[in-house]
Amino acid sequence: MSILCTGGTGFIGSHTAVELLCVNQDVVIVDDLSNSSASVVDRIEVITGKRPVFYKGDVADKAVMEKVFSENSIDAVIHFAGFKAVGESVQIPVAYYRNNLDSTLTLLETMKKYGCHRFIFSSSATVYGTSDKVPFTEDAKELGCTNPYGWTKFMIEQILKDAAAADPELSVVLLRYFNPIGAHASGMIGEKPNGIPNNLMPYITQVAAGIRDHLSVFGDDYPTPDGTGVRDYIHVVDLAKGHVAAYNYSTEHTGCEVFNLGTGIGYSVLDIVHAFEEANSLKIPYEIAPRRAGDIATCYASTEKAEKVLGWKAELSLQDMCRDSWRWQCGKWSK
């Protein structure tokens, strides 16, 4: 039996494939390589000593999924594939809804046909919207989003909840990620942003590498201890292990459950800058800039449910995240 990782050559998908292979699961990856490279499959093999089965293709394409399910015995799906750039989603919302929703629907239909009943979904803390009730708990009622990317996550959560309610055999696990950073300790897989990075850590590592001359800190007048935005940064390897825990959970439960994957600790933008400087003995020039539209002051997870129900807890430190992000940036694979 194999676990299908859609988007398995991407940042979070590749780290999860590694952790699954490390606990002796067989992994099948489907990825259209629109934001990653086929060599990630080779690197996963070097890290783990095991090669995932790989298909280049679009998850929304029924013929591709038919081929994957008919050629493999798929026991569970972890659905990472999707468009994920917040700014771009505002420019081309229809493409985001088409791509992200279609892939999910095609998967659900194909899974039903082949008797596969376990679906783990990459959701996001973005569904907590502009709420200021931190820490965010999974039972929060006032969900909402500030951009089309976020709404695709929100809508897919709803589709999966409805699918689970209608099918007593289906097990759905919705994982709401906080802010994944870091990279595998080998330096062989990590996050490779397209163009100018939107997210904080890839921007910092590019400043450190001399690719950008300084970091713009978006706002220093938030109601936070130092005035800069506070987020729950989680090491991508911890996040990947959260998927292994979710997979194990799904073997014994049906219905739909949602879990936050975060550390429960909030760090400000300046905390991250200073931690990165200290961990890697270098300086990050920065300037205070206006707030970025759509940003909230503070966002961090309640981790109680994941700890209690999944038996999973993030273990790596902010220092690990800063060191591993920089090792990845310095290596040849991030180029």
Catalytic machinery residues: 149
Distance between CA atoms of 137 and 115, rounded to whole angstroms? 33
Enclosing H/E stretch for 179 = strand 179-181
Q: Round to whole Å and give the CA distance between 18 and 237.
A: 9
CB of 229 to ligand UD1, least distance (A): 2
Q: State the minimum distance, in angstroms, from the CB of residue 320 to ligand UD1.
A: 18
List, in sequence order, every residue forming a beta bridge with 74; answer none if it has no partner: 2
Q: Rank residues 1 and 289 by Cβ distance to ligand UD1 and give the closer one.
A: 289
Amino acid at 55: Y
- CA proximity to 82, closest of 170, 178, 11: 11
Amino acid identity, position 171: S
Looking at beta carbons only, is 249 or 267 nearer to ligand UD1? 267
Neighbours of 271 (CB within 10 A): 19
Token pair listed for 192: 């490779």
Q: Smallest distance, Å, CB 200 to ligand UD1?
A: 4
CB nearest ligand UD1: which residue? 229
| Nearest by Cα to 298 from 212, 224, 240, 247 | 224
With CA atoms as reference, report the closest residue to 33 among 53, 6, 15, 2.
6
Q: Residues interacting with ligand UD1, by CB under 6 A?
A: 86, 124, 126, 150, 179, 198-200, 203, 215-218, 229, 231, 269, 292, 294-295
Least distance in angstroms from the C-beta of 125 to ligand UD1:
7
Q: Mark out the alpha helices in 72-199 (DSSP H runs).
A: 86-91, 93-114, 148-166
